[in-house]
Amino acid sequence: MGNISNRAIINKSAKLGNNVKIFPNAIIDEDVIIGDNTIINSNAIIRSGARIGKNCEIFPGAIISEIGQDLKFNGEKTYTFIGDGTTIREYVTIHRGTKDRNKTVIGKNCLIMAYVHIAHDCLLGENVIISNTSQIAGHVTIEDYATISGMVPVHQFTKIGTHSFIGGGYRVSKDVPPYVLAAGEPLQYKGLNVVGLRRRGFSNEKIKEIKNIYKIIYQSKYNIKDAVNYIENNFQLTNESKHIVDFIKNSERGIL
C-alpha cells in the first residue's frame, strides 16, 4: 500500500496503487484512483472523479478534480485524468469536466507550477509546462511540449500548439500555432521557439523548413487563408508543416 499517514482522510472506496505515499491532512474522496509510487503531500485535496497516474507528485494545498466554476454544471458524473510522471505544485487548482467533454486531462510528464488554475474541460498533452500563477480558462486545448510562462491568462476555447512558447504576463485570446514564440500585447508572432526546438532534437534543416512556412503565413502578401492555400500547393508537406496547416485550418478563434 505504501506510506499512508493515519492523519490523512481517505474514503474507503478510493483505490491506491503500490507504494503510494499520503501525508498528514491530505483528503482523498470517494471514486478516486491513484497509481503506483505517487505522492500526495499534506493538505492536498483529491476530489471525486480523479484518476491520477503513476509516479506523480501532488504538492501541499493543491486541489484536484473539484467541480468547475460553470453555471451549466448540473452534477453530472465527470472526471479529471492526470498522466504518469506529472508534477503538480503548491496550491494548483484543477477542475473536472462538465457534460461538454466529460473530463479534464493533464497528460504525462507535465509540470504545473504553483498557483496555476486549470478550469473544466481543458485538455493538456504530454510534457506541457505551465509556470506560476497562469490561469487557464475552460475548454482550452494545449498540445504536447507547449510552455506557458508565468502570469499568463488564457481565454476559454483557445488552442495552443505543440512546442510553442508563450512569454510571461501576456494575454492569450487567440490560438497560438505550433512551434512559435509568442509575446507582446496584443499577443504576436515573434518567430520560432528555436531554443525549445533545439533542446528537443530538431535539426537546423527542420527548423529552417518550419521557419519558411511561417514566412509565408506572417511575412508575405497573402492573408491567412491564401497563405495556407499557397503552402498546400507549393510545399512538400512534412509532418510538421502539415500539422501547422491543419492547426490553422481548424482554428475556430483565429490565430494570433
Catalytic residue among 68, 83, 121, 196, which?
121
| Under 8 Å between Cβ of 112 and 89 | yes
**Catalytic (active site) residue 120:** yes
Catalytic residue among 95, 120, 139, 163, which?
120
Rounded CA-CA distance 35/82 in Å is: 10
Catalytic residue among 35, 85, 125, 138, which?
138
| Under 8 Å between Cβ of 22 and 42 | no
**Catalytic (active site) residue 138:** yes
Give the sheet arrangement for strand 87-88, strand by strand: 2-4, 20-22, 39-40, 57-58, 87-88, 111-112, 129-130, 147-148, 165-166, 180-183, 188-192
Determine whether 244 is exposed, middle or buried from the number of CB atoms within 10 Å of its CB (0-12, 13-18, 19+). Answer: buried
Positions marked catalytic: 120-121, 138
